[in-house]
């Protein structure tokens, strides 16, 4: 029971898919009396990944790579006979072709293994051609079964992982935003904490980029909902870029004074922005209501932005910045610009979440109608 607590539903579903694919492949290999059906089973296991898009991409790459490796090995033997030179030539040509076709980079190792096995197992030129054909059929069958299972048995779409990744990043970005504001307005910059949060966000964004690429390779490609999710991924990158700009300013401002002249309006803007990031993260994770573009979260941001603009006008009118050095003035305006841009991105995020809700509602309506 204690062990079961550490199992995530996605891991259990993936384990079931791999198990079902292996069993089905084994049964088909036995029924069709394949010479070496274990190659089919091994291939089915190898190409099964956590998401449908990645499994399909790996499957097609494996089939094409296997065909290339088997064909080139047969050609090499027909030219040089079954010699070490034919083995070297087949592997060289296989790597060359797979390296040129960028979409086969993932399959080049298995393509070379296929080329090597075909030459080493075939007893003579006739058997090499037969072995090449049989290996291709066995591997293609196993891969095809795995692809079908990934599509129809407990399918795991990359979009679901993207939604979870975006929600996670929004929460972490809210924490980073708070740490940065505390650093510059309270004079307590925690370098270790900020570094840890930035690393977490960067790692998750890299994972989200991979999932987005996998989503594009799924049978339906990027549906309307997935297009909105893709826009959210790009939006999240812009938010992080603004936070990096804010971090650069916060490192300097922790020991400076000019920004304290606008402490109250900046704190109000910081509070409104942080609440917006948290509420968006809760909604994406299905743990809270959607923050609306005309709701209290958006109104708080607009009001805070107005107060900051008014305070800046007064600061310029009183020429208070003239008594500070150019470097400190530059840091101050970098801070204000980064905070305003982050707040503005939150308003754009509200619009994207509205589009996401609309696409979800339309999808549920279509599901009810089809039922």
Last residue of a domain, one of 152, 174, 206: 152
Radius of gyration of the chain (CA): 28
Residues 63 and 193 in one domain: no
Widest distance between CA atoms in the chain: 93
Find all residues with CB under 8 Å of 1, minimum gap 6, and list them.
none
Q: Are residues 187 and 53 in the same domain?
A: no
Residues 133, 49 share a domain: yes
Contact 291, 283 (CB under 8 A): yes
Regarding whether 247 and 98 lie in a shared domain, the answer is no
Q: Which residue among 118, 152, 186 closes a domain? A: 152
pLDDT at 10: 74
Looking at the structure, tell me whether residues 333 and 237 fall in a common domain: yes
Q: Are residues 345 and 261 in the same domain?
A: yes
Joined together, the tokens standing for residue 290 give: 């959607």
Both 244 and 287 in a single domain?
yes
Query: Of 125, 152, 179, which residue is a domain's last?
Result: 152
Do residue 148 and residue 222 come from a single domain?
no
Q: How far is CA 321 from CA 186, 292, 302, in A?
A: 20, 37, 25
Q: Are residues 226 and 337 in the same domain?
A: yes
The set of residues, in sequence order, having a beta carbon less than 8 Å from that of 334 and lying 6+ positions away, is 245, 248, 249
Cβ count near 348 (within 10 Å): 14
Collapsed DSSP state (helix, strand, coil) of residue 10: helix
Q: Which of 242, 236, 238 is nearest to 284 (CA)?
A: 236
Query: If you count them, how many residues does the chain have?
Result: 371
Instruction: Over range 23-45, report the average pLDDT.
Output: 90
Residue 256 lies in domain: 158-370
**pLDDT number for residue 275:** 94
Confidence label for 98 from pLDDT (cuts 50, 70 and 90): confident
Write out the two tokens for 329.
């003035």
Predicted confidence (pLDDT) at residue 74 exceeds the cutoff of 80: yes
Tell me how far apart the alpha carbons of residues 362 and 224 are, in angstroms, rounded to a whole number: 10
Which has the closest alpha carbon to 275: 165, 177, 179, 197?
Answer: 177
The domain total for the chain is 2
Mean residue pLDDT across the chain: 84
Q: Is 221 in the same domain as 138? A: no
Q: How far apart are CA 140 and CA 42, in angstroms?
A: 11
pLDDT at 367 over 70: no
What's the confidence (pLDDT) of residue 3?
Answer: 47
Q: Is the pLDDT assigned to residue 129 strictly greater than 80?
A: no
Same domain, 35 and 145: yes
CATH label of the domain that carries residue 187: 1.20.58.220
Q: Distance between CA 157 and CA 293 in Å, rounded?
A: 29
pTM > 0.85: yes or no: no
Q: Are residues 30 and 177 in the same domain?
A: no
Grouping H, G, I as helix, E, B as strand and the rest as coil, residue 100 is helix
């Amino acid at each position: 029971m204690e062990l079961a607590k550490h199992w995530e539903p996605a891991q259990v579903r993936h384990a079931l898919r791999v198990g079902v694919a292996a069993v089905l492949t084994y049964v088909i290999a036995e029924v069709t009396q394949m010479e070496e059906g274990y190659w089919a089973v091994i291939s089915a296991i190898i190409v099964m990944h956590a998401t449908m898009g990645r499994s399909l991409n790996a499957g097609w790459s494996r089939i094409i790579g296997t065909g290339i490796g088997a064909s080139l090995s047969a050609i090499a033997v027909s030219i040089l006979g079954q010699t070490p030179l034919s083995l070297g030539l087949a592997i060289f040509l296989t790597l060359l072709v797979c390296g040129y076709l960028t979409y086969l980079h993932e399959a080049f190792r298995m393509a070379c293994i296929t080329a090597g096995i075909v030459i080493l197992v075939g007893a003579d030129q006739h058997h090499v051609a037969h072995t090449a054909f049989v290996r291709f059929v066995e591997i293609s069958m196993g891969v095809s079964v795995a692809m079908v299972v990934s599509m129809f048995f407990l399918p795991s779409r990359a979009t679901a992982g993207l939604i979870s990744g975006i929600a996670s990043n929004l929460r972490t970005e809210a924490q980073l935003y708070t740490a940065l504001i505390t650093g510059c307005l309270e004079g307590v910059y925690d370098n270790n904490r900020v570094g840890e949060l930035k690393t977490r966000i960067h790692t998750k964004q890299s994972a989200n980029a991979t999932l987005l690429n996998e989503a594009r390779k799924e049978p339906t490609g990027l549906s309307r909902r997935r297009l909105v999710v893709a826009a959210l991924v790009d939006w999240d990158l812009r938010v992080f870029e603004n936070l990096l700009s804010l971090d650069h300013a916060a490192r300097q401002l922790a020991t400076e004074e000019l920004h304290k002249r606008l402490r109250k309006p900046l704190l109000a803007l910081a509070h409104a922005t942080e609440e917006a990031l948290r509420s968006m993260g809760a909604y994406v994770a299905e743990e809270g209501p959607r923050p609306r573009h005309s709701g209290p979260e958006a109104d708080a941001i607009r009001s805070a932005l107005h107060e900051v603009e008014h305070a800046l006008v007064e600061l310029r009118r009183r020429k208070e910045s003239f008594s500070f050095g150019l470097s400190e003035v530059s840091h101050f305006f970098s801070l204000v610009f980064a905070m305003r841009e982050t707040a503005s991105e939150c308003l754009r995020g509200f619009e994207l979440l509205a589009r996401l809700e609309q696409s979800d509602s339309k999808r549920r309506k279509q599901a009810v109608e089809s039922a």
